[in-house]
Chains A and B, each alone.
Chain A
Amino acid sequence: MTSGPTTDPRAAAPGTATPPRRRNTELALLGFAVLITLVAQAIVDLTVTGSLTTELATFGLWITALWTVAHLVVRRWAPYADPLLLPAVALLVGLGLSFIHRLDLAAQQAGSTASREDAPVQLVWATLGLVLFVGVLLVLRDHRLLSRFAYTLALVGLVLLAIPAVLPSSLSEVNGAKIWIRVAGFSIQPGEFAKICLTVFFAAYLVDKRDVLALASRRVMGLELPRGRDLGPVLVAWMLSILVLVFERDLGSSLLLFGIFVVMLYVATERASWLLIGLGLFAGGALVAYQLFGHVQQRVDSWLDPFAYYDGSGFQVAQALFGLGTGGLFGAGLGGGRPDQVPVAKSDFIAAAVGEELGLFGLVAVIIVYLVLVERGLRTSLICRDAFGKLLAAGLSFAIAWQVFVVLGGVTGLLPLTGLTTPFLAYGGSSLVANFVLVAVLVRISDAARRPAAPSGPPKPALGDAPTEVVQT
């Protein structure tokens, strides 16, 4: 450990009373989230089919058991964890399940031949995600352990990212994007896991190198510019995302990875110049990509004017916009709209379904739940005592925020469509499971951050000697 925790451990908790663990708050909010999930399911059933089924009871028991287990595990193995992370996730997953169920019903009513129900599948994925959540919390007792495997994880991440690119299209391509591994009826999207591995690596790498990246600089036009050779890592990250874009035709992952890296660089060095450099590189890359690749041009065209391409590439966005417009302020009510009019509403465009049936008020509520999740993550980063944990928490929270922004931007026509999934809400096993792992890591860091300092430290320094407290403003 050459540059491990740089923070003075004494600075952590000068208070004598142990901070509250707030596990009961978490339990109450989890109960609330489960209640909302069940109410949503019941309303959907009543509105669409006119009757409640016994499946609702099964579903209710299952989902209650799921979150009870999660809560008990956190209570036992991460007792100081942030009380809001889990309830926010529970609400998002529950709403997602309700909307997928609602779209299943719509498909059944339309008499679709391929009437495979996706909601039970998603529930199984959620269960698997929870198993991994528990596994991460049990195995990873100290998040700093991750920094030891940083380079291994980087390799794993890169391999995961590269697999779909080298696989033949028949095994890796769905709807034009080569980001899948399809084996024996299963399809997983390794990029979602690569996101977490690479964020861990970025955090560990930047903790090591941030002094060089922050201090060695020249001042040009009032801006601290880094030395040429220090641009290396950001250029590598940029190249990587370009390669993803070229070989996998995946705008979303490319944007996600580059965004995470640039923001973590900024957080690590406190230099705004990195943001500008990142933005410049992005603009350059975007321009070149637009010139070279047909699929990027198509995306941009149908973003600028979806209705001009209504019969083709703009159809999806146009339908989503119609849906959002129909929803208006208060929505059509759960089960009252026609969200199935949007192609692939379950995965890419679930936000459009939310906007149509719950309206602006509902969609904003969902966004605020994401905001709460991200805020808790960033807060964890602020109060975390070691630099690695700080950076990792900031990076993971930003990943969620960035992904939500890009997806919702795409659905509402603010940004070109990217093909990222709405975390926790959208149908898709890999995304759900990977994000469960992400939250497990956040819970682990927040447990360490909120835990009072070990009692073995100096009991209470003399008054004049007392360390100043780190106060976030």
Chain B
Amino acid sequence: MTAEIVLQIFRFGFLLLLWLFIFAAFRVVRADLFGGRAGRVASVPPRAAAPGRKKTRGAAKTLVVTAGPLTGTKITLGDQPILIGRADDSTLVLTDDFASSRHARLTNRGGQWYVEDLGSTNGTYLDQQRVQGPLLVAPGQPIRIGQTALELRS
């Protein structure tokens, strides 16, 4: 009788021990996911949407690449949206491992340009802030895609 109870304790106790190990391992995974890296991302202070630089008003006329392999490239802005990515049919074709094939889009709505991330892997950043929905881009505000930085000039 007692032997039977001991066996049952062994049986379930061991399973419990196994799952406790998994629980401990998952805690480490969790700490790694939300402790270390998340903290680091959050530690980059999001600058509050670039308060009025000198040339905020006045429609932007060109898109200039200010950093990355394509530095110096200028694109004259019209009404058409600008597609940025590694795909060959993009308006601005990037050769960058961090860029997705369709990475981001700039659209003109009523004379103002909005940047939109097209579900890229590594994200689009407007002035340190990760672009989630469409964001208004002020001239002079850096847009970063992988190693490339762009800005609007009027």
Contact = CB atoms under 8 A, between A and B. Distances in A.
Interface string A353-371: 0000011011001101100
Nearest to A32: B21
A7 interface: yes
Interface stretch (A15-23, A106-114, A430-438): A15-23
Contacts of B17: 35-36, 39
B28 A368 contact: no
Interface string B9-39: 0111011011111101110110010001001
Q: Lowest 10 CB-CB distances: which A-B pairs, in order? A: A333-B11, A365-B18, A15-B40, A468-B125, A468-B144, A43-B10, A372-B25, A6-B97, A361-B15, A470-B122
Interface stretch (A84-92, A117-125, A165-173): A84-92
A463 B36 contact: no
Count class of interface residues, chain B = 35 or more
16 contacts: A7-B97, A8-B147, A11-B98, A13-B40, A15-B40, A91-B21, A330-B15, A334-B14, A362-B15, A365-B22, A369-B25, A379-B32, A468-B144, A469-B41, A469-B44, A473-B123
Contacts of B11: 330-334, 336
B121 interface: yes
B28 A83 contact: yes
Contacts, number: 117
A60 interface: no
A365 B40 CA distance: 32
A47 B7 contact: yes
A407 B44 CA distance: 46
Given A8-B147, A20-B36, A466-B128, A365 B122 contact: no
A365 B41 CA distance: 33
B47 A468 contact: no
B7 A39 contact: no
Given A88-B25, A365-B22, A470-B98, A331 B40 contact: no
A365 B123 contact: no
Contacts of B8: 333
B43 interface: yes
Interface residues of A, number: 56
B85 interface: no
Interface residues of chain B: helix, strand, loop or mixed (majority)? helix
Given A32-B24, A361-B19, A466-B44, A84 B123 contact: no
A29 B15 contact: no
Interface of B: 7-8, 10-12, 14-15, 17-22, 24-26, 28-29, 32, 36, 39-41, 43-44, 47, 67, 97-98, 121-123, 125, 127-128, 130, 142, 144-147
A372 B29 contact: yes
A97 B53 CA distance: 68
A185 interface: no
A366 to B, nearest CB: 8
Interface of A: 6-8, 11, 13-15, 19-20, 22, 25, 28-29, 32-33, 35-36, 39-40, 43, 46-47, 83-84, 87-88, 91, 330-334, 336, 358-359, 361-362, 365-366, 368-369, 372, 375-376, 379, 387, 463-471, 473
Given A8-B147, A333-B11, A464-B127, A29 B25 contact: yes
Nearest to A44: B10
B22 A358 contact: no
A47 B11 CA distance: 10
Contact of A473 (B24, B121, B125, B142): B121
A25 B39 CA distance: 19
A117 B144 CA distance: 63
A436 B10 CA distance: 30
A332 to B, nearest CB: 8
Contacts of A471: 41, 122-123, 130
B18 A36 contact: yes
A422 to B, nearest CB: 16
Contacts of A46: 10
A358 B18 contact: yes
B2 to A, nearest CB: 13
Given A468-B146, A473-B123, 16 more contacts: A11-B98, A13-B40, A43-B10, A47-B10, A83-B28, A330-B11, A330-B15, A358-B14, A358-B15, A375-B29, A464-B127, A466-B44, A467-B144, A468-B125, A469-B44, A470-B122
A46 B121 CA distance: 54
